[in-house]
Amino acid sequence: MIIIRKVKEMRRRASDWRKEGKTIAFVPTMGFLHEGHISLMREGRERADVLVVSIFVNPAQFAPNEDLDRYPRDFEGDEKKCRTNGVDAIYCPSVEEMYPAGYQTFVNVREISQGLCGASRPTHFQGVATICAKLFIAVKPHYAIFGEKDYQQLQVIRRMVKDLDMDLEIIGMPTVRESDGLAMSSRNKYLNPDERRRAPALYQSLKAAKATFKKGERDPNKIVGIVKKALKKAEPCEIDYVEVRDALDLTPIERIGNKPAVVALAVKIGATGLIDSLVLKT
């Protein structure tokens, strides 16, 4: 396994792999790797000849009031997990390497970045799209693998790749959960024992929504009501949003019809923002 810290080296290695006819799978991460990331690595390991994992806590996707500085980091642990899971290269550039003095280029994926998490984090998906564009351009992957847990992020990236004519396939993988249903996330580490005990209510509320949908409910407002009621088990908590949206372009829907639909939520338990989502209809 090699460690790559410079853009130029990453580009050169990727070009060489491509010239040798090798396929490249890529898993972008912010590190502090958990079972969710590892499921993405396994998928990449199966799909391609070379598996690259990036570890980069991207300042551009954090607002000034967010948790950039205290975002959990554990490079040594991550390195071990990558080695155990067949990773060929870790790409871990410094902030100065990615955003040197004078840096001023940003990618915006407009409509799909608005609403949901974009409402309270208006520059977040610009940061995500920009770093993913840079990573895809340098790593030149055939496949890039993302978790469905960050559902809006996945759709933003899909749209960007399509719009910018990028020649790679985006693979979305199912959310990996703890045994009690809590979606795995590096941020779960922030939860104190009591908060952790309440956190599974998020997934339970989504399952309640799906059960209602399966029984025939097609009114998004009613489904949102079911979720909010079920979220009472997480109290005290602060609901950022609960919404039913078109599962692909994330536009609001008035009634669930033939098109795919997703229910998504963001909740603050204590100081920790948690998100989760469940596709109601594919």
Give the footprint of a second copy on this chain (CB under 8 A).
7, 11, 15, 18-19, 21, 102-112, 129, 133-134, 137-138, 159-160, 163-167, 249
Output 170 or 237, the one with its CB closest to a second copy: 170
- Ramachandran sector of residue 240 (left: φ over 0; alpha: ψ -120 to 50; beta: rest): alpha
Output 160 or 184, the one with its CB closest to a second copy: 160
Residue from 34, 37, 124, 142 carrying the catalytic annotation: 37
Output 137 or 171, the one with its CB closest to a second copy: 137
Q: How does 27-44 read in b/e, with b if 16+ C-beta sit within 10 Å?
A: bbbbbbbbebbbbbbbbb
Closest CB 29 distance from a second copy, rounded Å: 18
Closest CB 242 distance from a second copy, rounded Å: 25
Burial group, residue 4, by CB count within 10 angstroms (0-12, 13-18, 19+) = buried
Output 138 or 267, the one with its CB closest to a second copy: 138
Closest CB 15 distance from a second copy, rounded Å: 7
Please state, in angstroms and as integers, the Cα–Cα distance from residue 249 to each residue in 127, 147, 227, 228, following that order.
19, 17, 22, 24
Judge whether 218 and 208 are in contact, CB under 8 Å: no
Q: Is 124 designated active site?
A: no
d(CA 40, CA 34): 10
Closest CB 81 distance from a second copy, rounded Å: 26
Output 13 or 121, the one with its CB closest to a second copy: 13
Closest CB 177 distance from a second copy, rounded Å: 32
From the list 263, 265, 247, 244, the residue with the least C-alpha distance to 255 is 244
What is the rounded radius of gyration, in angstroms, for the C-alpha atoms of the chain? 19
From the list 46, 15, 3, 31, the residue with the least C-alpha distance to 137 is 15
Which sequence positions are flagged as catalytic?
A: 37
